[in-house]
């Protein structure tokens, strides 16, 4: 090695081993869970001294990006499938996968103070009903199951519009382009009641549970902040915030 | 790996959308380009800027405003409903409207530049020879502006084929109605169907390259004549 390179390499080594005392943690989070996570971030920062940096997006896209080395430390998925796949591919810290929240589905319309019942789905055949894409979004698959359970699959077939994710589904209804939509209870409720518009909380036994898993990714194996955050997500304080935002916990 | 019927539906829909939009844009864009090339109006700059706006606006901005404006409560939505067209989001017609705006600069700008390049001289000569303005336009201006029209047609078509953000925002992902190739690819990737995604994405890549190569070859040949 040329002698003149040594100081440079030394400097690089020095800066790459910054102490992790107050680390920054990059979290890839499914769009539906952004709000509770934002509410949790200051609590976590106060308790553990680590800052969260949030990347929000669709679970499938994150999966593809993580496979190609995206710089995330923790992945909060909207489903169980993608974290399990990443685990089987050896991209996660062994034993770090757990269910952090169980999503609830709501039938929602933007006008406040109105009754919302499943029989209203067929009330006006001229209107659209929004669901998330059942093929790619867990809330969409759940909505499809509910519609099937209600025996309305054929009746609603021509009236369904699909959002790419649950945020877009909400947007379709909020802008009045669809009369009603199956959205995440977490999007429209606070502390167990509809916070905007009017909603029917779909009974959990009408669809397969929307279990959302988290994993620590291999690049954060030696990052104590990642492990601290995973532990925090399972804590009573975090679970309370998660429930306030319209999710069940295990 | 062969394409699924849903893939073929998406391809056919995309071609129909791009074809419809290109024809409409040529019809609407030509008079506009002519005006931009010849008008001395003070607000010509404003119109030029408006035409160019879709070039730099994120498609999501355009799509979001279209969703709001075309929705049942939006100004355009109330207009389309009052004339019996219904609400346009989630329909093929809605995608056509969105694409008209989205691809406008790709059609208007090449035609406008071709008109400017021709200059007033050929028209003056035609007028001296007794040609009426409309006659002069079709027998003098159009042939001279052919490279501009060729570029406009190809770019307008190809750009609409490659449209994603606007369709994502106002389409609603309905098979055979609004699920175009770009959305179908996105769905395949989201559903981890990478082989299917490759098939369509590779096809789109080849198509786009072939179209641009053909355009440049044709324009080069034209220029050498």
According to DSSP, the β-strands at A74-76 and A24-30 are parallel
Checking if the pLDDT of A16 tops 80, the result is no
Cα(B203)–Cα(B209) distance, integer angstroms: 10
- Which of A128, A164, A177 is facing B173, going by the closest CB pair? A164
Structural domain span for residue B187 = 5-39+47-224
| Contact (Cβ atoms closer than 8 angstroms) between residue A215 and residue A75 | yes
Checking if the pLDDT of A234 tops 50, the result is yes
**Nearest-5° angle of CA A94, CA A98, CA A100?**
150
CA distance A234 to chain B (A): 28
Average pLDDT rounded to a whole number, residues A148-172:
92
Q: What is the DSSP letter of A31?
A: G
Percent above pLDDT 90 for chain B: 55
| Summary mean pLDDT of chain A | 89
- Which of B67, B168, B191 is facing A177, going by the closest CB pair? B67
Write out the two tokens for A3. Answer: 């002698």
What distance lies between CA A18 and its chain's CA centroid? 31
Residue A18's pLDDT is what?
43
Residue numbers in the known binding site of A for molybdate are 59, 166
Residue A3 banded pLDDT, cuts 50, 70, 90: low
Looking at beta carbons, which residues of chain A come within 8 Å of B192?
60, 63-64, 85
Give the chain A residue whose CA is nearest to the CA of B170.
A172
Cα(A155)–Cα(A232) distance, integer angstroms: 45
Looking at beta carbons, which residues of chain A come within 8 Å of B191?
60, 135-136
Residue B120 banded pLDDT, cuts 50, 70, 90: confident
Residue A1 banded pLDDT, cuts 50, 70, 90: very low
Cα(A230)–Cα(A52) distance, integer angstroms: 12
**Structural domains of chain A ordered from first start:** 22-102+210-248 (3.40.190.10), 105-201 (3.40.190.10)
| Contact (Cβ atoms closer than 8 angstroms) between residue A190 and residue A35 | no
| Contact (Cβ atoms closer than 8 angstroms) between residue A245 and residue A190 | yes
- Global pTM reads 0.78
CB–CB of A175 and B87 under 8 A? no
Looking at beta carbons, which residues of chain B come within 8 Å of A85?
192
A38-79, pLDDT tens digit by residue? 999 999 999 999 999 988 888 888 888 898 888 899 999 999
The region, left, alpha or beta by phi > 0 then psi within -120 to 50, assigned to residue B41 is beta
| Contact (Cβ atoms closer than 8 angstroms) between residue B154 and residue B215 | yes
Alpha-helix runs per DSSP H in B39-145: 44-56, 59-70, 75-82, 92-118, 121-128, 133-136, 142-144
Start-to-end Cα distance in chain B: 45
**Domain total in chain B:** 1
Residues paired with residue A201 on neighbouring β-strands, in sequence order? A106
CB–CB of B68 and A175 under 8 A? yes
Looking at beta carbons, which residues of chain B come within 8 Å of A128?
90, 172
User: pLDDT: is A2 or B53 the higher one?
Assistant: B53
Residue B1's pLDDT is what?
64
Average pLDDT rounded to a whole number, residues B117-127:
89
User: pLDDT: is A134 or A31 the higher one?
Assistant: A134
* Residue keyed to tokens 């000569």: B125
CB of B89 within 8 Å of a chain A CB? The answer is yes
Provide the CATH number for the domain around residue B147.
1.10.3720.10
Q: Any idea how long chain A is?
A: 250
Count of CA atoms in the C-beta half-sphere (13 A) of A14:
6
Lowest-confidence range among A75-84, B165-174, B196-205?
Answer: B165-174
In 3D space, the residue among B186, B155, B183, B18 whose CA is nearest the CA of residue B96 turns out to be B18
Average pLDDT rounded to a whole number, residues A162-167:
88
Alpha-helix runs per DSSP H in chain A: 6-15, 34-48, 59-67, 81-88, 138-149, 153-156, 166-174, 185-188, 224-233, 236-244
Residue A135's pLDDT is what?
87
Average pLDDT rounded to a whole number, residues B89-103:
93
Cα(A74)–Cα(A80) distance, integer angstroms: 14
Residue A14 banded pLDDT, cuts 50, 70, 90: very low
Average pLDDT rounded to a whole number, residues B203-208:
91
Residue A7's pLDDT is what?
52
CA distance B208 to chain A (A): 24
Write out the two tokens for A29. Answer: 């989070």
């Amino acid at each position: 090695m040329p002698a003149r390179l040594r100081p440079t390499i030394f400097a690089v080594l020095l800066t790459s081993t910054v102490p992790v005392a107050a680390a920054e943690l990059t979290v890839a989070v499914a769009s539906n869970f952004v709000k509770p996570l934002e509410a949790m971030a200051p609590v976590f920062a106060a308790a553990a001294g680590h800052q969260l940096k949030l990347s929000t997006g669709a679970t499938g896209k994150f999966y593809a990006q993580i496979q190609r080395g995206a710089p995330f430390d923790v992945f909060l998925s909207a489903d169980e499938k993608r974290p399990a796949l990443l685990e089987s591919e050896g991209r996660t810290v062994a034993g770090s996968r757990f269910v952090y929240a169980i999503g609830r589905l709501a039938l929602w319309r933007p006008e406040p103070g109105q009754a919302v019942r499943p029989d209203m789905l067929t009330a006006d055949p001229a209107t659209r009903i929004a669901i998330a894409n059942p093929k790619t979004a867990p809330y969409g698959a759940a909505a499809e199951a509910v519609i099937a359970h209600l025996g309305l699959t054929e009746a609603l077939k021509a009236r369904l519009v699909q959002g790419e994710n649950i945020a877009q589904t909400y947007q379709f209804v909020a802008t009045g382009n669809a009369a009603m939509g199956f959205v995440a209870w977490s999007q429209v409720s606070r502390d167990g009641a509809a916070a905007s518009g009017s909603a029917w909380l779909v009974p959990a036994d009408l669809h397969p549970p929307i279990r959302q898993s988290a994993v620590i990714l291999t690049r954060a194996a030696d990052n104590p902040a990642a492990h601290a955050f995973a532990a925090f997500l399972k804590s009573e304080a975090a679970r309370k915030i998660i429930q306030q935002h319209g999710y069940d916990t295990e | 790996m062969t394409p699924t019927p849903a893939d073929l539906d998406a391809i056919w829909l995309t071609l129909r959308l791009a074809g419809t939009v290109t024809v409409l844009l040529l019809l609407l864009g030509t008079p506009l380009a002519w005006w931009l090339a010849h008008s001395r109006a003070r607000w010509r700059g404003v119109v030029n800027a408006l035409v160019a706006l879709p070039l730099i606006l994120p498609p999501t901005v355009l799509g979001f405003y279209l969703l709001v404006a075309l929705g049942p409560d939006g100004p355009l939505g109330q207009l389309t409903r009052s004339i019996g067209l219904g609400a346009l989001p989630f329909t093929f017609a809605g995608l056509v409207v969105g694409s008209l705006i989205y691809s406008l600069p790709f059609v208007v700008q090449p035609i406008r530049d071709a008109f400017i390049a021709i200059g007033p001289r050929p028209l003056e000569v035609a007028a001296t020879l007794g040609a009426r303005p409309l006659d002069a336009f079709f027998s003098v201006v159009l042939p001279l502006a052919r490279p501009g029209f060729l570029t406009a047609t190809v770019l307008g078509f190809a750009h609409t084929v490659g449209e994603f953000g606007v369709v994502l925002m106002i389409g609603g992902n309905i098979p055979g109605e609004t699920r175009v190739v770009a959305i179908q690819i996105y769905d395949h990737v989201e559903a981890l169907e990478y082989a299917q995604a490759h098939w369509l994405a590779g096809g789109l890549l080849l198509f786009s390259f072939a179209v641009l190569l053909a355009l440049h070859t044709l324009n080069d040949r034209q220029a050498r004549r």
